[in-house]
Structure 1
């Protein structure tokens, strides 16, 4: 699981990002069964927009005052809860 997502979900998301031109897959020279993912110019251009949106959301729900340690605990609890529900 990656960020509480199945491998299939991650693969589907990466395929969509690649189809839309945000990332490219490059075959790893050392291990041809693996890929290196790289942001394209289009992908790099959207980063500031995403950061602004994430900062706005983070601040609007009051998470700006929550310590990083507390956020880590919240993420761990969310991950564990997700795993329990999906067992």
Structure 2
């Protein structure tokens, strides 16, 4: 999530990162901290994964986390390269 925030910050500015952080925090508390965490709705609540991704959910969270890291690292690298060339 840090590399995704970095790419978003370089592309749009700090305001978008703050808005996305507040949105993800509210979503995580709403979905990850209630009975909804026992449904497939635990997937969008990424900040709550350490608490909700247990047992059979752990491999899914690891694969999705690795995918998110790979994609967001590529996006951050592209945005930083674009910003450096300006």
TM-score range, shorter chain: 0.3 to 0.5
TM-score by length of 2: 0.37
Find the structure with the greater CA-based Rg: 1
As a proportion of its length, which structure holds more helix? 2
Provide the TM-score with structure 1 as the length reference: 0.37
The structure whose RCO (Cα within 8 Å, separation 6+) is larger is 2
Which has the larger share of strand?
Answer: 1
